[in-house]
Amino acid sequence: MISGWTEPCITDDTSRHCYEIVDTRITWVNASELCKRGGGHLVTIESVEEQTFITDLVMKKKFNVPALWIGSDKLHPEEQRAWANGEKFSYVNWAKGEPNNLLIDEDCVEMRTDNITWHDVRCAHLNGYICENSRT
């Protein structure tokens, strides 16, 4: 369950970003819906600083899920590749060889909890997820 947006948060020049990591395994669409219901969205990682902050959060906690959904779907074809809000990727942390669309329809993006790299996988896969709430 979303337990609230009080912590942990980072503040940059223009806004404050708070994160909630949930280790219940659900599909990308369901994770996206739950984040929205909590007033946020699946995390968009726009800089190395944001990735580092999230990496620290993930590493601090022992997860019983191998991967967490982040906020990108409709990954293929390549020219559509972006965050679900339409924003183009300004930063990426793909694992070597990813995104590879290996099983066809690997249209959603997960972040592995062991090494924090991104992989494209099928959206019906069951993962934990990270919600973000950004306020200006």
Residue 89 CB, nearest approach to Ca ion (Å): 12
Q: Which alpha helices (DSSP H) does 48-88 contain, by range?
A: 48-60
* 66 preceded by a cis bond (ω within 30 of 0): no
Q: Name residues contacting Ca ion, limited to 97-116 (CB under 5 A).
A: 100, 102, 106
**Minimum CB distance to Ca ion smaller for 62 or for 71:** 71
Is residue 99 within 8 A of residue 6, CB to CB? The reply is: no
Residue 102 is classified by DSSP as: T
Name residue, tokens 């965050």. Answer: 83
- Would you state the structure tokens that stand for residue 134, as one six-digit string? 């950004």
Choose the stretch contacting Ca ion; rule: CB under 5 A; options: 4-12, 38-46, 65-73, 77-85.
Answer: 38-46
**Minimum CB distance to Ca ion smaller for 20 or for 120:** 120
127 near Ca ion (CB under 5 A): no
**Minimum CB distance to Ca ion smaller for 23 or for 98:** 98
Q: Name residues contacting Ca ion, limited to 61-100 (CB under 5 A).
A: 100
Identify the CA nearest to 134 among candidates 26, 60, 29, 45.
45
Residues near Ca ion, by CB under 5 A: 44, 100, 102, 106, 119-120
